[in-house]
Every structure is written in structure tokens, then in C-alpha cells.
Amino acid sequence: MEVSLKSYKRPFFLFNAHLETIYPALFRSVAIPQPKSVRITTPDDDFLDYDWYHKEGNSKVVIISHGLEGNSKRAYVRGMARAFIQRDFDVVAWNYRGCSDEMNSQLRFYHSGATDDLSTLVDYISELEYTSIYLIGFSLGGNLTLKYLGEQGSSLNTKIQKTVAFSVPLNLHTSCLEISKPSNSVYTFRFLRSLKKKIMIKAKQRNDLPVENLHRIKNLIDFDDAYTAPLHGFSSAIDYYTKCSSINFIDRIDIPTLIINAKNDPFLSPECYPKSDNKNLALWFPEKGGHVGFTNFHRNGLYWSEDQALKFILSNNV
């Protein structure tokens, strides 16, 4: 294990973790080529949509997994995609079930441990003419990616070379408690509003999704108890968190993997800054950065996170 204190210096006007988190989400704009929209069918007769940034002759591809209630159009996804496109990588920015422009058809949605969908996507992409695949995940997508790697272990698709994960709630339960604190109420409100809206949309297309108590849900744990857990085969929110927290899988990761969690991330609990004896892991915990923040104003347009991902993936060692 390599523990690094790689420095990130935030802009002077982003003087606290909330500003670091909110500013890029609201104000960043990323100019990027128009991708091709692709839909693939899942084994349970549902679908996954992804944006494919493709140039003929590219042999390397990056698969980007977004955060909770995000999608392939978010600025942090597009910024990372642009960084790799400029270095002659293809990019696949995928949308989880229910996160693209069309609601998925099965009763289930997505969740922090739904590695079956990531596996379906990886298997599909690996059949294309790429020699190397790299995985990048943000927040929930980081947890999903790390869990997938740990589950696969030495059986991982041999085309996958390296992984980078940012702002990862490695312990889902304690991180959910963290984001539920009064100081984080603005985030909880936005997430719950979006999640409840999706429940209502799906309830209108199916008759097997109860919504009579939806209005009583006031926090993410209650939402996971009422919907995430039962819809995806877990007995409770705690059962879901326990079985899907990537902290329980990272020691089994078998390829070079970089995890970057800012120490001032308002979403993350102390358990999200672990130690590990796994020599495939590089654990970087900079003092600042917020949640999926790391804003920079360099001439090249890269955020600090994008620069670090490029350097790690292009380097010859962990």
C-alpha cells in the first residue's frame, strides 16, 4: 500500500468544503465532442444507455461511472471524458438504470453495489476492438467499481488495466449517517427529491411499486429501507450497506487502483479513510477537495482530479 498526501490547493474563494462541492456542480461547463448514444440489453431484458466518445483507431477505452442521481452528462463526467479524449482514449460514460432519458423497464433501479450491470457493460465493451480498459468511478460509482474489482479478484477481465475512484463512501452506513447530519441537509433534500420523483415515474408504469408512504420518508436510510433494499434483494438498509460497502472488498483488488478521498469531504465518514496492506492500492487523502470537487483553473482546463487520473493511468507503476 502506498499512502500519499498529494497536495491539492483549492481556489481562495472556495474556502470551505461545501463551496468546493457545490461550485463545480453548479457552475462548471465542459465543451466536448458530441458522443454516440448506445443502448445495450441486460440479461434480465432491461437496458443500459451510455455515451460513447469514439475515434477510429483508438485501442484504449475508459469506462466512467457516475455518482448518486448523476448521469453521463454531469460536468465531472464530461470533464474526465474530455481529459482522456485529448490523450487518444475512447470513453464510455454510462448511465445506471433509471438515470438516462428513459426510465428502465424492470422493477429494480440501481444501487451502490449493483455490480451485475457494470459487469454486463464491461463484458460488452471488452468484445469491441480495444486492447486496454480503464475504470473511473465517482462517489457511488467509485464504490460500485471497487466492489466489482474486489468481487472479481484474480478472475477480472484481463483487458482491465487500472482503476481510479474519487470521493468514495467506502462504508455506506456511516457515510449515510454523515450525509444525514443537519449540516448536509441541502444534499439530502436534493437527493431525496430526485429519488422520490423516480419512484413516482416508475409507479405510473407498473402496479407493483407501493408509494402510499413515500411522502413520509425524510432521510436516505429510510428511503433505502423502503425501496433500495427490498427492490434489490436485501432484508434492510443495514443489510444493503453491509453487503455492498466497498471497504469489505478493496483488499481483494488485483490491479493497480488509486482511491482519492478528500479529508474535508462532507459526505464521508472517518471509516472512508482506511489503511490497507494491498500493494495494488494507492490511497490518497488530500486535506481539501470537497466531494467530487478538486476545482482548478489551469489553462489546460483540467481539474486536479482529472490530472491525477491521467498521470496514474499513464504511469508505469502504482
Q: Please give the Cα distance from 244 to 146 (Å, whole number).
A: 10
The pTM of the full predicted model, rounded to 2 decimals, is 0.95
Q: Please give the Cα distance from 185 to 180 (Å, whole number).
A: 7
Instruction: Identify the segments of the chain with pLDDT beneath 50.
Output: 1-5
For the domain that residue 223 is a member of, what is the CATH number? 3.40.50.1820
Torsion over CA of 230, 234, 239 and 241, rounded to 10 degrees? -80
Backbone angles phi, psi at 94, to 5 degrees: -100, 160
Q: In 3-state terms, what secondary structure has residue 171?
A: coil
Domain with 52, as residue range(s), is 2-314
Whole-number pLDDT of residue 317: 55
Q: Per the structure, how many domains does the chain have?
A: 1
Across the beta sheet with 36-41, the strand order is 2-4, 281-284, 257-260, 160-166, 132-138, 60-65, 90-95, 47-53, 36-41
Q: What are the E-state strand segments in the chain?
A: 2-4, 36-41, 47-53, 60-65, 90-95, 132-138, 160-166, 257-260, 281-284
Whole-number pLDDT of residue 263: 97
CA-to-CA dists, residue 227 to 179, 237, 279, angstroms: 18, 9, 37
